[in-house]
Structure 1
Amino acid sequence: MTLTRPRFGLEILLVLGVSLGESAVYSILRIADRLTRPEPLAQQTTQMNTSVAADRPWLDLAYQLANIMFPLVPVLLALYLLAIAAGPVAWRGDDPSRPSWQRVGFDLRRPGRDVGWGFLVAAGIGIPGLAFYLFAREIGINTNVAPANLADNWWTVPVYLLAAAMNGILEEVLMLGWLYLRLRQLAWSWWLIVLTSAVVRGSYHLYQGFGGFAGNLIMGVLFGLLFLRWKRVGPLVVAHTLLDIVAFVGYALVAPRVDWL
């Protein structure tokens, strides 16, 4: 199936409109709400991974699993659209005849290399990222982010791990693999693709504050440059997943024992 460039543009709007683009709009509304409250940003708290039915653990688990599964549907949609409308070659080495997940490097052809690079990227970003968050909160441009708020159950840590993997897959497959490929097929320049993707990434983190926007914009640029080098989202899915695992599980373990988180 052959699509014209305007239809590729429509595909981008529709997929983002039911996924991270929608999140960006709600995030902008959320920061507007926060800025119009009497208390400053630094005195507000952003809670993530919260219990829905803490007094009914199995129902709460069902809610958490649903919250993990449904955000992955747009990823499957994007890969499906790539499969039925491959489009022209987007970059050197791209092969429209390959399965869509292979075109963006979301496969198991190089598991050792993907995991190794993923660990290195996560290590290189994690500590500076934490320092930047603490700095942003200190100067009053970010909320206090509490990323782990589930009730204490046998399934709590596994759900944090699944949520971290979901975030890694959703953001990197869509914002790097699929979006980069489609925008390149629309003849966008590389620098504009990197910047656009990074701005969208920062925008759907605005609910945390301006520090969350800036930090994720920088992360988006770095991840984008790495994707252009590797043409694989695999290592970046691993890196993102590891960063979120440390944030979720680490916060749950450390926050009750310190006063600086």
Structure 2
Amino acid sequence: MTRAIAGYSTLANGRGVYGQATAANGAGVQGGTNQGNAFGLWGFNTSASGTGSNGAGNNQISTYLTAGSGGSFSGLYTGVFGFVSSITIDPSSGGLFQDEFDNQWDVAHWDGFGYYKIIGPGAVSTIVEDINNQKVVMHCTETPENLFEDYGTGQLVNGRVTIAIDPTFAKNILVDEQHPLKVFVQLEGDCNGVYVTNKSAHSFEVVELQSGLSNTLFSYSIVATRGSETYTAPNGQTRTARYDRRFEKAPQVKQRASLKAELNH
């Protein structure tokens, strides 16, 4: 292995190579390359519980996993930051994770049509405490379409009522012949039954059957397709994200290569 500069330390808290910059826009250590299969900086650790690279910002104490990891980064507000500079290349992702089973998780993913916070295999889950204060898992319901849902209560007045949809919810949904609003009503009292009519992105009407005139309470849920969103870059270029698709194609797994690092003194 050829080295332009080599450093080595056997001391506790020692540094094989140390660099410091005290001026604005300076760098204590800089590495670079113009080769696709080379690395500007390469950090590795041959210990089974070691950390390959460690970085700390915002004058923070460095925090790392005692079991080790490929990289550990600490910050006061943001531990890791990723930025995608292209607004013309599809697809793109702010972060990418893979495992040996060719599973891939894309973070801040753009597929040319819409944005995804995180897209990948597995479940979308959260953690809560059970009655014994033990941590347990709850899961999200997932659908073939990108849907928004809202809930509410209402009351018939002489057999009918118009329910206004929350304006913020209405602004962010798509309702037309191909993407109708879905309304599910649960009666909370005795009446002849009801039906839903005059559905739009802004309201719907609940009417009692057989020309009934009751004042029955009810609860409801509404489901609608998520509407499109337009984003504007600092240079004025726009990008519109559409969410009116069903079973869209998943991101392709990116190719990977492996290279083992060894300590040679």
Q: Which has the higher helix share?
A: 1
Q: Which has the higher strand share?
A: 2
TM bin (shorter chain): under 0.3
What is the TM-score when the length of structure 2 is the normalising length?
Answer: 0.17
Pick the structure with greater CA Rg: 2
